[in-house]
Structure 1
Amino acid sequence: MKYLKLPSLWALVAAMAFAVPAMAQEFRVGFVSLDRILREAGAAKAAQAKLEQEFSRREKELNDMGAALKSQSERYEREAPTLSESQRQQRQKQLIDQDREFQRKRREIQEDMQARKNEELQQVLERANRVVRQVAEQEKYDLILQEAVYINPKHDITEKVIKALNNAR
């Protein structure tokens, strides 16, 4: 009896061994690099250009303010030996106040810029995720990864996503 069950067990193992590769070939995995999409996709580049244009005036004002502060500081350093104590203290106080205002404006611009960058980035990511889903459905992928320690380049569909994202305008 035991000998009869053993051949049928081997037949079952052999059938499973042939079935596993067949099942593995049906499962398709892809990889998408979000960093690359954010660097190379037209939508991401357009968002970056939009932000640069939006904040260029404020950045120029800040740069001008910084240059004026530096110029006044250098002028103070040159004139300090000839100023009276009260004049030195008054000019130092003015420079400190101007520096505080400069730092406050710089922080404000950086915070505003970061908030806008996050808004624009979120829109690009939402569009990219829709395109990833479309590519995955069209090409019948079962799983798309966005982060991995290692990925074989043959599974990288980032270029397809970038092209589809650029064409979707």
Structure 2
Amino acid sequence: MKIYQPIAVALLCGAAAVSAQAQDFKAGFVNTDRIFREANSAKAAQAKLEQEFSKRERELVDIGNRLKADSEKFEREAPTMAESQRSAKQRQLIEQDREFQRKRREFQEDLNARKNEELSQVLDRANKVVMQVAEAEKYDVILQEAVYVNPKLDITDKVIKALNGGK
């Protein structure tokens, strides 16, 4: 019994120390999806991307519409065409479709690469602001991904406000 008494005292002291330290622990949460939707820099990046890629997107839509119209015309006229004409027109439509698919794939790859670049810059700026808020308000940890977060721990509004210039 006497052997267990010092162990029990040590455990109680350890529990009290952990409890005291837990009271000083300060945690926060930042919703990066909201930052990407609501921060002015994210909105500016999105507008920049739309401007940069809108012409290519319109061209792709036009090519797709022409291809669809040509295919429909072929379907209407195919029964009256000679076999050689029908084969040639079919090969031409297949080649047009292949070219359209290639251009669409390239467009999507370019758009995704640029979007990743722009969002990366926004995230870098947001992370710097998060660090400033954490240091200024003495946070021990700030999470960006979580299954559940109590709304009182969410500092996303502070970060967005600071990103938008309203310290």
Is TM more than 0.5 here?
A: yes
Q: State how 1:24-35 maps to structure 2 within 5 Å.
A: 24-35=22-33
Note the alpha carbon deviations across 1:114-148, whole angstroms, 9 max, x for none. Answer: 11011001101100100000010111101111111
Match status 1:74 vs 2:72: yes
Residues 4, 107 of structure 1: CA spacing in aligned structure 2 closer, same or farther, 3 A cutoff? closer
Cα deviation, residue 108, structure 1: 0.6
Mean alpha-carbon deviation: is it higher for 145-154 or for 87-96? Answer: 145-154
Residues 13, 91 of structure 1: CA spacing in aligned structure 2 closer, same or farther, 3 A cutoff? closer
- Partners of 1:4 and 1:108 lie apart in 2 by 77
- Aligned with 2:117 (options 116, 119, 134): 119
Cα deviation, residue 22, structure 1: 3.0
Match in the other structure for 1:87: 85
Percent of aligned positions with the same letter in both sequences? 66
- Partners of 2:91 and 2:38 lie apart in 1 by 48
- Partners of 1:78 and 1:6 lie apart in 2 by 94
Residues 4, 54 of structure 1: CA spacing in aligned structure 2 closer, same or farther, 3 A cutoff? same
Give the secondary structure class of the aligned counterpart of 2:28: strand
Cα deviation, residue 90, structure 1: 0.7
- Partners of 1:98 and 1:10 lie apart in 2 by 81
- Aligned with 1:145 (options 120, 143, 148): 143
Cα deviation, residue 167, structure 1: 1.0
Residues 111, 11 of structure 1: CA spacing in aligned structure 2 closer, same or farther, 3 A cutoff? closer
Match in the other structure for 1:134: 132
Note the alpha carbon deviations across 1:14-48, whole angstroms, 9 max, x for none. Answer: 66665444322211111111111112111111111
Note the alpha carbon deviations across 1:81-135, whole angstroms, 9 max, x for none. Answer: 1100000001101100100110010001001001101100110110010000001
Give the secondary structure class of the aligned counterpart of 2:164: helix
List gaps (5 residues or longer) in structure 2: none
